[in-house]
Amino acid sequence: MSIKILFENIDVDGIDSFEVYRKLGGYNSVEKALKNMSPEDIVEEVKKSGLRGRGGAGFPTGMKWSFIDKAPGKSHYLIYNADESEPGTFKDRHLMQYNPHLLIEGLILSCYAIRSNTSYIYIRGELMYVMRILEKAIEEAYANGFLGKNILGTDFSLDIYCHPGAAAYICGEETGLIESLEGKRGNPRLKPPFPALNGLFGFPTIINNVETLATVPWIINNGGEQYAKIGIGKSTGTKLISACGHINKPGVYEIELGLSVEEFIYSDEYCGGIKNGKKLKAVVAGGSSVPILPAELILKTAKGEPRLLSYESLSEGGFETGTMLGSGGFIVMDEDTSIVKNLLTFTRFYRHESCGQCSPCREGTAWMEKILNRIVEGKGNEKDIDLLMDIANNIEGNTICPLGDAAAWPVQSAIKHFRDEFLIKPEIV
């Protein structure tokens, strides 16, 4: 069994209550931090830990925090990004639903680190039932003096509010989220200015993913250096991988970064192999937007080395032969899967979720869906494949936010690795 940081107590009966959570050492890190550490100390520990954003981009968390405008007299906001919507990703929901106090503990530490006295948990609107779990946990934390005015008798005060969205993938993007939190359409903003200087209501704002901040209590309890010893190279610590598709044991697994993909797919501790004894065909390893890889390239890199679940190993070979760790949404497809039909569902998703601000994304995703529909109906030809690739290439890099890239990569990679399948007649697919 590998080390468990986020899932250590997730199966304990009643862990969602303050009482049980506290009895097992919950909120100890808050006591330690508020009494013995300065905000800068927290940032320093997180920097030392090498923790990287778990939402998909993998940006070092401590560094992100250090960008915040510390000008006195200004409000600072920390937003908890719980708008988990990337197809294949369901790790944050799992964490929030079963261990809500861990999130609040992480949030208190992180707000203290950036001197924020107000925090919003932006949670996707479909997850109202999870929001109620969080609200109950927040209420308990207030009642026990871990939220509100002068926490633990210090001069640090913090209020946390839950804010539901209303179904829009784009609000997972930092600036789309801020717009939405201001009561507007979730159209992403041009950067710069970055939210750390000019974010919510024009004030310095940090946006972090649920899993990222839930890791902070362990780092404060055990030290950043200890955390950095877990994992491999610059991929320190553990990561939640949500596995789905044609596997025997779909679910959310906490893995030590550096675990081999082969072990993850075939070991009984994790996915338990491919369903019905079928062969593995392809994997989308980090949520729907990352490049799809055929079995041989997901198990081994082009150089023939075992592929590992880490930021570096998964991106080994660039987009030619590699992919990304992304959000950790691990979608497995067996030998009978139609890559093109699966791609159509992804492209339809991005067309549906495009906010419509940038024409390459708004028009391009719709064109790609139209062409893919044609191909799936068996009416496509060679030129359609080139046209698809051309559209994808013209979306990539030409939009305000990364949704354009996210829509382009699945198309580009599916054509790169499975071009022959685009012209199979439907009766065979």
Partner 1 sequence: MKFMEPKVSFSEETLKLSEKIISHYPEGRQKSALIPILHLAQAEFGGWLSVEAMDYVAGLLKLKPIEIYEVATFYTMYNLKPTGKCVIEVCRTGPCWLMGAEKIIEHLEKKLGIKAGETTTDGKFTLKVTECLAACGNSPVIQIGEKYYVNMDVEKADNLIQNLNEGMRV
What three-state secondary structure class fits 136? helix
180 contacts partner 1 (rule: CB under 8 A): yes
Query: What is the distance between the alpha carbons of residues 67 and 163, in angstroms, rounded to a whole number?
Result: 25
Q: Are strands 235-236 and 159-164 parallel, antiparallel or unpaired?
A: unpaired
* Burial profile 219-234: b = 16 or more Cβ within 10 angstroms, e = fewer: bbebebeebbebbbee
Residue 88, Cβ density class (10 Å: 0-12 exposed, 13-18 middle, ≥19 buried): buried
- Residue of 61, 110, 310, 342 interacting with partner 1 (CB under 8 A): 342
Shortest separation between residue 342's beta carbon and partner 1, angstroms: 6
Place of tokens 């950043």: 224
61 contacts partner 1 (rule: CB under 8 A): no
Q: Which stretch binds partner 1 (CB under 8 A): 15-23, 30-38, 107-115, 236-244?
A: 236-244
Give the x/- contact pattern for partner 1 in 35-54, rule: CB under 8 A: --------------------
Residue 129, Cβ density class (10 Å: 0-12 exposed, 13-18 middle, ≥19 buried): exposed
24 contacts partner 1 (rule: CB under 8 A): no
CB closer to partner 1 out of 231 and 404: 404
169 contacts partner 1 (rule: CB under 8 A): yes
* Residue 242 structure tokens: 């949500």
- Residue of 195, 204, 322, 329 interacting with partner 1 (CB under 8 A): 329
- Residue of 74, 352, 370, 374 interacting with partner 1 (CB under 8 A): 352
What three-state secondary structure class fits 427? coil
90 contacts partner 1 (rule: CB under 8 A): yes
Q: Which stretch binds partner 1 (CB under 8 A): 12-20, 102-110, 329-337, 417-425?
A: 329-337
Report CA-CA distances (Å) from 120 to 165, 175, 286: 12, 14, 26
- Residue of 148, 164, 272, 317 interacting with partner 1 (CB under 8 A): 164
Contacting positions for partner 1 (CB under 8 A)? 75, 84-90, 92-93, 120, 124-129, 161, 163-169, 180-186, 201, 242-246, 250-252, 284, 288, 329, 331, 333, 337, 341-342, 345-346, 348-349, 352-353, 355
